């Protein structure tokens, strides 16, 4: 899989995409991720990517022409373009499971007051939101989306069995409670069943949780 990210703050992604599961996956060739500065497609000396909204209003709006030029350069046959925006459909694990099968994703992280709605209408395949709240931009939602997709790719996790037992697996039920040593701390005890060694009863206990 290849993932291209369009943003005006590429530096925000360096640590996140260079460490842990994503860092290992890119290092081993499981996924290729490139973060692009949208300003590279600006057509003026100031590298501006936004302008005042028609009709008035607070803030600045990201320009459709700049986004279009970037997508023209990055898109290939079969590319899927996704915009992260509060107006989008709710992103969840089912969506991540679907997107893991795509060969090429282009993720757009808007900023400022928003993005010209002609991007929604004409340039993207899907628009997703990660929750009913407002963030300063689409950078964090893009990171969330990339992390949730990459960890599903074959070879991304050190232990593939983790995918079978973790929260929101195929049954979309939350994961059972987890405990580790010490078995008792400040009077807080680990459930006795987990210390019993009876794997059948432990499995039943976990299923009930």
Split at pLDDT 50, 70, 90, the class of 19 is: very high
Split at pLDDT 50, 70, 90, the class of 192 is: very high
Residue 4 in this model has a pLDDT that exceeds 90: yes
Q: What's the pTM value of the predicted model, to 2 decimals? A: 0.87
Query: What are the residue boundaries of the structural domains of the chain, listed by start?
Result: 2-150, 176-208
Residue 167 in this model has a pLDDT that exceeds 60: no
Domains 2-150 and 176-208 share a fold: no
Indicate the SS3 state at residue 27: helix
Residue 175 in this model has a pLDDT that exceeds 60: yes
Q: Is the domain covering 2-150 a CATH 3.40.1280.10 domain?
A: yes
In angstroms, the CA 150 to CA 11 distance is: 20
pLDDT at 209: 80
What proportion of the chain, given as a percentage, has pLDDT over 90? 83
Residue 166 in this model has a pLDDT that exceeds 70: no
Among 3.60.10.10, 1.10.1270.20, 2.60.120.260, 1.10.10.10, name the CATH number for the domain at 176-208: 1.10.1270.20
Across 42-59, average pLDDT: 92
Across 179-192, average pLDDT: 93
pLDDT at 182: 94
Residue labelled with tokens 């997107």 = 99
Find the range with the poorest average confidence among 153-157, 167-171, 191-195. 167-171
Residue 129 CB: number of other CB atoms within 10 A?
Answer: 18
Give tens-digit pLDDT for 84-99. Answer: 999 999 999 999 999 9
Split at pLDDT 50, 70, 90, the class of 161 is: low
Cα 67 to chain centroid distance, Å, stands at: 20
Structural contact between residues 104 and 76, judged by C-beta atoms closer than 8 angstroms = yes
Find the range with the poorest average confidence among 10-24, 160-174, 177-191. 160-174
Give tens-digit pLDDT for 128-138. Answer: 999 999 999 99
Q: What is the mean pLDDT of the chain?
A: 93
pLDDT at 89: 98
Give tens-digit pLDDT for 66-123. Answer: 999 999 999 999 999 999 999 999 999 999 999 999 999 999 999 988 899 999 999 9
């Amino acid at each position: 899989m290849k993932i291209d990210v369009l943003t005006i703050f590429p530096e925000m992604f360096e640590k996140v995409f260079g460490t842990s599961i994503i860092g290992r996956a890119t290092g081993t060739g499981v996924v290729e991720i490139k973060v692009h500065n949208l300003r590279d497609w600006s057509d003026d000396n100031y590298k501006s990517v936004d302008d005042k909204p028609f009709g008035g209003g607070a803030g600045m709006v990201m320009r459709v022409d700049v986004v279009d030029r970037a997508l023209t350069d990055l898109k290939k046959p079969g590319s899927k373009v996704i915009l992260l925006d509060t107006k989008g459909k709710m992103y969840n694990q089912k969506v991540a499971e679907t997107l893991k099968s795509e060969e090429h994703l282009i993720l757009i992280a808007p900023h400022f007051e928003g993005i010209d709605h002609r991007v929604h209408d004409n340039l993207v395949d899907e628009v997703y939101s990660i929750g009913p709240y407002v963030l300063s931009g689409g950078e964090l939602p893009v990171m969330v989306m990339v992390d949730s997709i990459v960890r599903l790719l074959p070879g991304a996790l050190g232990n593939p069995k983790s995918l079978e037992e973790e929260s929101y697996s195929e049954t979309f039920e939350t994961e059972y409670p987890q405990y580790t040593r010490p078995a008792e701390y400040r009077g807080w005890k680990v459930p006795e069943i987990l210390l019993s060694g009876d794997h059948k009863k432990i499995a039943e206990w976990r299923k009930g949780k």
